[in-house]
Chains A and B, each alone.
Chain A
Amino acid sequence: MLKIMKRKKMLFTAMFLLLQFAIFAQSRVVKGTVKDSKTNETLPGVTVLVEGTTTATITNEKGEFTINVDGQGKKLILSSLGFATKVVAADKDVVDVSIEAATTSLKETVVTAVGISREKKSLGYASQEVKGDAVQGAREMNVVNSLEGKVAGLNITSSSGAVGASSNITLRGAASFTGNNSPLFVINGIPVDNDFKESRSGSPNQGNPISDLNPDDIESVNILKGPVAAALYGSRAMNGAIIVTTKNGKGLKGKNSDFQVTYNAGYSSDKTLRLPEFQNSYGQGYTGDDPSDGSGNFMYADESWGAPLDGRTYTNYRGKVTTWDPQPNNIKDFFVTGHQLTNALSIASGDEKGAVRFSLSSFNQKGTVPNTAYAKYTTGLNIDRQLTKRLSTEIGVNYTLTQGKNRPGVGYDTYNPLQSMFGWFGRQVNMQELKDNYNEIDPTTGLHYNWNPVYHNNPYWTLYSNPNKDRRDRVIATAKFNYKIYDWLTATVRAGSDFSTESRFQQFKKGTIDYSVMQNGGFYDDKGKNTTANVDAMLTGSKRIKETYSITGTLGYNYYRRTSDASNTEVQGLLVPGLYNVSFAANTPIVTANSSTKEIVGLYGLVSLGYKDYLYLDVTARNDWSSTLPSKNRSYFYPSVSGSFIFSELLKTQKWLSFGKLRAGLAFIGNDTDPYNLTSYKTSGSIGSDPSVISTPFNGAVLLTQQNTLKNPDLKSETGKSFEIGTDLRFFNSKVGVDITYYNTTTKNIIVPVSIPASSGYTSTLINAGKINNQGIEIMLNLNAISSEKGFKWDIGLNFAKNKGKIVEVAEGLDKIFLDRDWADLYLVKGESYGTLYGNSVLKDENGKVLTDADGYLIKNPTPQKLGNVTPDFRMGLENTFSYKALSLSFLIDWQQGGKVFSQTNLWMDYAGTSQRTEDRPAAGLVNEGMVADNSTGTWISTGVANTTAIPCEAYWGDHAYMNFDNAVYDATYVKLRQVSLGYTLPESIIKKSPFSKVEIGLYGRNLWIIYSKLPYMDPEVNSSNSRNASGFESNAIPSTRSIGANLKIVF
């Protein structure tokens, strides 16, 4: 340490000498201090030049300068690496200047595929970097969600407002059909696992593993948007890659730049953003059931078509005599205020030989659904060290523990307490009574009391008596060694592993109402283990020839192995009530176990050529061998070529153009399949799942059945071709920056699970058939609108992405394939974008008017009809940042245009008569507006007469909702105020006297306001499907939350 200090001192002494010399020679002296406009830190080493002269100086350690100016009207030009050049008038004796970091520094290096650091300007493809600050300010549980609206082409859909919920992520649309369409996640060079975890269908969402990251550890996130950028990663990066680099203690700034302790505390309070509106005039029942008639009939209904809520006296489900009154706030009262609390501490130290950083963090969340919680604890250690003159190493270990407590189920599922509250509900139900008495058992049935004793559980029973818990322990370890064999040749070996164990436990207390077999108690106990190992070995050579040409070449070898093991145990019935131990199972436990292993071996190479720092050419090639493909098709090769031309270098006289680059790239890419897709196996037969109705062992025998998928021993790798072209332009001292990319990616020979006639003995088979094309445009605009000398600044950042996906080919003879089903069906349809909804529909005439029968009822269309496509037209994010000295305010607006969403919340609320829309119930009934049709010929034909016959309101709304899904499909367009944040950095004057080197205070709000939406009742953004490729389904989604929080960051 002493040495460094000494060296620094010498340097500055030299500078002072220079300065002194300048003073001697001149007459008028101008003094000043230069600061970073953003951080307000003083900046040493800034060059100060008097315009039109050769007189120059450099700021000292404290950012101060003194310079002689000869004559009047002169200007000072301030420049420093990584900062925009600034010109100020030298008309006063003291000129304090703030200079700002260049929007994107031209010398900026970014981490690209397989961990190769590159100068950004040399890249022939689009990538976008998000700095760690952006994910540390306004906090999100899931780091990925912080990127929402900030990156052009990145599409993030959060699944619900539940604690620890996952998000669906795609870059530039889906490249494959039913396979994994999520980009590859890479942490410090090691590809990590980010597959959805769902131990059982309909089970609570356990979140993406990427949310295991501690946001405070993130240095930067670089998004390689397409195959051209990610080509070196091979098949796993067909959907682009998201490269996360964590902090390592290098490049510390400020007072204690050799040893720094950073503490970060954050708190936010979360409330449900939007709730449905309900009718409050009619209570539980079918066809006007009267609760006071003594039959108890109304109770068996889980709908609200009962008697008017007129205060009549009745006996409720607990045998209590009470009045039949509306409960307008019963749903609102169910939700509570959620909290999120973050504490993060890091210790970092660095010198020129290396750096160390250690971090600890905790995150605790309580959800808006009662008794739900989520916690995440992380610890990490990163060590960088120059071991010898030639050998350096980087080692990192991260451990994360995540614990979910009672994550609620999602979608149309009994685990989701909202299923029985939004739609299937009695509007007279008193929530407090449910809450106070949820554990009471009805002695005649042995089941707990609930407002409906047959279909649903009391939501509090679900949450308090039938809770679930889950846990994931995860270790990501990486080690990298660099050895400089010659000055121009480096060998690198990087090895890493991502190891996690998961467990999930769901209990069912004796007395559970359910048409399942869990009424005598039972549980699910699911466990899993995943290991990913990744090794890269590379040789990199780099030469410069006569300052004109540069050449860099890399040869690499990659080994990847992923294994997973899972065992799921289901127990139906408990011998000892309350004892959830498999040893005391009343029936034979149903245990399923699954393991899988997959390996990929790859060889790759990269050659980069540079000419005079403005012309670059990259050629890459990779060959992979995957264990999942048959031996004859196991090897696949894909090359790429890309280049960039910095034409601004040739136009240096054009002052208005700060930077101009053209880039273009072409890549071929391949993709393998999942393990065990080549042979049809015999599996354990079961009917009904969660809980199982028929399963092994059955009457003491194994149930063995031929798989329903006819496997294909001739599968080939999927192949893709991607072309992109773009430009990066900056004008007026980089005050305006535009980055535009056009891309066109076609994937073909997609491995498609196609349905085949069941009479063949199989319901589906796997073939190489599909073809999908994605083309689109991404625009990023950065504008420094105002930058006053007094320190006021206004920056505008805008990103826009339009992706047009088209299913070019499904399979021979087919025009669509099935993707997912949740009442409505989602298909991939030839000629359309990814994801077309189909569902129940009624007969209509040629004018689109519904047909009715003679009694005024709608007529079911025997064939499900197309309801709309779920893919949005475009997405746009607009971020405005205002700053004045140490204060900054920014807000982010997010706009999605188009796409359709099938809202089951709306559907079932109408069906069951709980929605506000169904409140008007004329005694005469309601009339289906349409034409009367006649069926005497065997076909329904409009008579041309308008229908005037009214039908009961219950039948009207029932058919309106359930027969005609058109009525539940909405435009998913929304405009949202995603984020507002206010930041303040304590000024130098205060800090100076404190032991701190930096103190930042932030206030923020997230998901604040749905400015525009066509979807009633729900947040249009919430996608409640658990499936990794299904979007466009909304089903009793846990409402998204509005978070308001504060953040404090202290650097010692």
Chain B
Amino acid sequence: MKKIIIYGLGVLLISSSVSCKKRFDEMNVSPNNPADAPAQMLLSNVIASTAYRLQLSAGLVMTDLWVQHAKATTYMDEDKYNPRNDRMDIVWSSLYATAFEDCIQAQNKAEENSQPNVQAIALVLKGYIGYNLTMLMGDVPYAEAGLGNDGIITPVYDPQLTVLNSIVADLDKAISLMDPATGSSSIDELPKYDLIYGGDMDKWKKFAGSLKLRIYLTMNSGGVNKTAEINTLLSSADIFQSNADEAKLTFVSSGNPVYQWINPSSARRSDFRVSSSLVNYMMGSSVDSTLPADKRLTIFADPIDDGKYVGGTNGQTGGIATNSTLGSNYYSYSSPYYFMSYSEVLFIKAEMDTTNQANYEAAVTESFIQNGLTGADATAMLADPKFTFSAAKGGKLIGEQKWVSLFGQGVEAYNSWRRSGYPRLAPAANAATTNGYVPRRVSYNTDEKNLNTANLAVGVQGLTPSSDVITSKVWFDRLHPNNFGNQ
């Protein structure tokens, strides 16, 4: 017995202390999540999360208010130009750490596995995210961004023009990689994971081209003349040719991100209503507030009890029962998020020649069709003296109509407003913190201020004035002589 016990203990000790290296190494591999995955599987999350952040986090609760498409009824911080830090921070941290990083991972993996189409889509999406970040904040990391895995923890900030040029280069590279013939190859599984086009690489090509239009237009505003490039693209087939080409994500299995916030079909949250700036503009010459001259308002907003469309003043608390909710057709469970619409391309074309009536009317008409209305509805609206084209006020009308057409795409509407200066927006009521100006940008992320201080300081130099506040202007915006719309 004694011997058995002593030997037993001895065997136990020896057997356990014999290298458990292999056993432990295997044990410490997560059974729950993959360390490695096919590149295309990362695309769907990029698409879904980007849509969520731009439509809700940077859109409805921030830029939708600042471009006065919507107004807040309660919790007025953002609507009074006092945006909460965490609201601004989440846009940056989520777009970079989730969407942008996944693009980098997908791009590298696709390159490694020779999946050019997947790589191309990742590049386009990366460019799209980078464009939105730089437009919202100013100079941002792009070349060195998303490379934490490679040891770059504190990436440098690239000047906005550099960022825009890099995006164009990425888009060009993507276009060159795209191979429509193999777009739906079974290896890539794009019909499943490409939630925008289901692997239709022709359409991706057009999306990339249309994005270049946006970027060139921005460069123009910043004083770098890209008119020739824009005109070349406009006359090519490399951009959206019809509504069928538009880049959008339709929510099928889970609702549109704003649905839960403002879905008016049931009395859920009532934090937002339609802004009076939008309603008053779209009424046109109509004096009957149940019959707006611009019929799109009946899509964008729901009437209040007596059939009237009534907007509320930005910055003023309340209006739950007295102001129109955002449209039930627009913010329904399955409403799409537009990455970019065909009508925007037509508006860019119109902007290039503000004396061209046909371009203006074509863009407006397309916007009606995009919203499920008819050409006749557009014609009726264009007959309203307020909206009827004249060469003298072409620039103003185009700017205003583009602003209307970008309803639901708050960030791009905000970009367009800063580029064109239209419409002239009166600042929100009680907007003390910006000295009465509509914000011109979103502040940098708080962690970035604490942890990437030196690089951020360089980035701040790209702002006018060089101060990380929401009233400073980003590079493309700086040439405007004044804070138009803020007088």
A residues neighboring B (CB under 8 Å): 286-287, 295-297, 300-301, 390, 445-447, 453-455, 483, 485-486, 491, 513-517, 519, 537, 539, 557, 559, 587-588, 593-599, 601, 603, 625-628, 631, 634, 675-676, 678-685, 687-688, 692-695, 697-708, 710, 755-763, 765, 814, 853, 855, 857, 859-860, 862, 864, 935, 938
Check A694 against B101 for contact (C-beta < 8 Å). no
Given A454-B270, A601-B17: A287 touches B28 (CB 8 Å cut-off): no
Given A286-B74, A515-B261, A758-B93: A675 touches B153 (CB 8 Å cut-off): no
Does B104 count as interface, using CB distance less than 8 angstroms? yes
Does B49 count as interface, using CB distance less than 8 angstroms? yes
When chains A and B are docked, how far (Å) is the Cα of A465 from the Cα of B432?
45
**In the complex, what residues of B have CB within 8 A of residue A597's CB?**
27
Does B244 count as interface, using CB distance less than 8 angstroms? no
Nearest CB of B to A615, in Å: 31
When chains A and B are docked, how far (Å) is the Cα of A597 from the Cα of B31?
9
Q: Which of B5, B320, B452 contacts A485 (CB 8 A)?
A: B5
**B1-39 at interface with A (beta carbon < 8 Å):** 1-2, 5-6, 9, 12-13, 16-17, 20-21, 23-25, 27-37
**In the complex, what residues of B have CB within 8 A of residue A445's CB?**
266-267
Check A693 against B52 for contact (C-beta < 8 Å). yes
Check B97 against A708 for contact (C-beta < 8 Å). yes
**In the complex, what residues of B have CB within 8 A of residue A631's CB?**
21, 24-25
Q: A485-B5, A760-B145, A760-B147 are in contact. List 15 more A-B contacts (CB 8 A).
A: A287-B317, A446-B266, A454-B269, A681-B34, A682-B34, A683-B32, A693-B257, A698-B44, A701-B44, A706-B42, A706-B101, A757-B153, A758-B96, A759-B140, A761-B149
When chains A and B are docked, how far (Å) is the Cα of A585 from the Cα of B293?
44
Nearest CB of B to A177, in Å: 17
Given A692-B254, A705-B49, A757-B448: A681 touches B267 (CB 8 Å cut-off): no
Interface majority SS on A: helix, strand, loop or mixed? loop
Does B146 count as interface, using CB distance less than 8 angstroms? yes
Given A513-B268, A710-B148: A703 touches B45 (CB 8 Å cut-off): yes
Check A557 against B12 for contact (C-beta < 8 Å). yes
When chains A and B are docked, how far (Å) is the Cα of A161 from the Cα of B105?
48
Nearest CB of A to B203, in Å: 17
Q: Which of A539, A757, A761 contacts B104 (CB 8 A)?
A: A761
Q: Which of A559, A587, A703, A710 has the largest number of chain B CB atoms within 10 A?
A: A703
Given A685-B98, A698-B48, A706-B102: A761 touches B148 (CB 8 Å cut-off): yes
Does B180 count as interface, using CB distance less than 8 angstroms? no
Does B352 count as interface, using CB distance less than 8 angstroms? no
Check B435 against A935 for contact (C-beta < 8 Å). yes
Check A680 against B268 for contact (C-beta < 8 Å). no
Does B369 count as interface, using CB distance less than 8 angstroms? no
Does B464 count as interface, using CB distance less than 8 angstroms? no
7 contacts between A and B (CB under 8 A): A596-B32, A599-B27, A681-B35, A685-B98, A687-B94, A757-B153, A763-B97
Contact with A along B369-394 (1 / 0, CB 8 A): 00000000000000000000000000
Does B322 count as interface, using CB distance less than 8 angstroms? yes
Q: Which of B24, B98, B102, B145 contacts A599 (CB 8 A)?
A: B24
**In the complex, what residues of B have CB within 8 A of residue A300's CB?**
73, 270, 320-321
Check B252 against A699 for contact (C-beta < 8 Å). yes
**In the complex, what residues of B have CB within 8 A of residue A515's CB?**
260-261, 268-269
Q: Which of A594, A710, A862 contacts B149 (CB 8 A)?
A: A710
Which partner residue on chain A sits nearest B92 by CB separation?
A758
Q: Which of B41, B45, B147, B469 contacts A761 (CB 8 A)?
A: B147
**In the complex, what residues of B have CB within 8 A of residue A755's CB?**
447, 450-451
Q: Which of B23, B33, B451 contacts A756 (CB 8 A)?
A: B451
Contact with A along B154-181 (1 / 0, CB 8 A): 1100000000000000000000000000
Check B447 against A603 for contact (C-beta < 8 Å). no
Does B439 count as interface, using CB distance less than 8 angstroms? no
Q: Which of A519, A681, A684, A760 contacts B266 (CB 8 A)?
A: A519
**In the complex, what residues of B have CB within 8 A of residue A559's CB?**
16
When chains A and B are docked, how far (Å) is the Cα of A455 from the Cα of B260?
12
Check B260 against A762 for contact (C-beta < 8 Å). no
When chains A and B are docked, how far (Å) is the Cα of A769 from the Cα of B145?
25
Check B267 against A557 for contact (C-beta < 8 Å). no
Nearest CB of A to B321, in Å: 5
When chains A and B are docked, how far (Å) is the Cα of A870 from the Cα of B366?
60
**In the complex, what residues of B have CB within 8 A of residue A702's CB?**
41, 44
**In the complex, what residues of A have CB within 8 A of residue B140's CB?**
759
**In the complex, what residues of A have CB within 8 A of residue B469's CB?**
862
Check B432 against A703 for contact (C-beta < 8 Å). no
Q: Which of A676, A684, A697 contacts B253 (CB 8 A)?
A: A697
Does B193 count as interface, using CB distance less than 8 angstroms? yes
Q: Which of A516, A681, A693 contacts B33 (CB 8 A)?
A: A681
Nearest CB of B to A770, in Å: 16
Check A296 against B447 for contact (C-beta < 8 Å). no
Does B185 count as interface, using CB distance less than 8 angstroms? no
Does B289 count as interface, using CB distance less than 8 angstroms? no
**In the complex, what residues of B have CB within 8 A of residue A634's CB?**
21, 24
Q: Which of A519, A588, A759 contacts B145 (CB 8 A)?
A: A759
Check B37 against A704 for contact (C-beta < 8 Å). yes
Q: Which of A625, A708, A860 contacts B433 (CB 8 A)?
A: A860
Does B480 count as interface, using CB distance less than 8 angstroms? no
Q: Which of B16, B52, B85, B250 has the largest number of chain A CB atoms within 10 A?
A: B16
Check B28 against A627 for contact (C-beta < 8 Å). yes
Check B35 against A679 for contact (C-beta < 8 Å). yes
Q: Which of A446, A676, A688, A758 contacts B448 (CB 8 A)?
A: A758
**B78-125 at interface with A (beta carbon < 8 Å):** 82, 85, 92-94, 96-98, 100-102, 104-105
Which partner residue on chain B sits nearest A687 by CB separation?
B52
**In the complex, what residues of A have CB within 8 A of residue B445's CB?**
757-759
Check A700 against B41 for contact (C-beta < 8 Å). no
When chains A and B are docked, how far (Å) is the Cα of A287 from the Cα of B73?
12
Q: Which of A519, A626, A681, A699 has the largest number of chain B CB atoms within 10 A?
A: A699
Does B427 count as interface, using CB distance less than 8 angstroms? no
Q: Which of B21, B44, B255 contacts A517 (CB 8 A)?
A: B255
Does B209 count as interface, using CB distance less than 8 angstroms? no
Q: Which of A447, A628, A681 has the largest number of chain B CB atoms within 10 A?
A: A681
Check B253 against A588 for contact (C-beta < 8 Å). yes
Check A685 against B45 for contact (C-beta < 8 Å). yes
Nearest CB of B to A1003, in Å: 51
The 8 A-B pairs at the shortest CB distance, nearest first, are namely: A761-B101, A760-B148, A761-B146, A681-B33, A758-B93, A685-B45, A627-B24, A757-B452
When chains A and B are docked, how far (Å) is the Cα of A683 from the Cα of B31?
11
Does B318 count as interface, using CB distance less than 8 angstroms? yes
Given A700-B253, A757-B452: A628 touches B28 (CB 8 Å cut-off): yes
**B432-472 at interface with A (beta carbon < 8 Å):** 432-433, 435, 443, 445, 447-448, 450-452, 465, 467, 469
Check B16 against A557 for contact (C-beta < 8 Å). yes
Which partner residue on chain B sits nearest A557 by CB separation?
B13
Check A539 against B321 for contact (C-beta < 8 Å). no
Q: Which of B31, B42, B141 contacts A704 (CB 8 A)?
A: B42
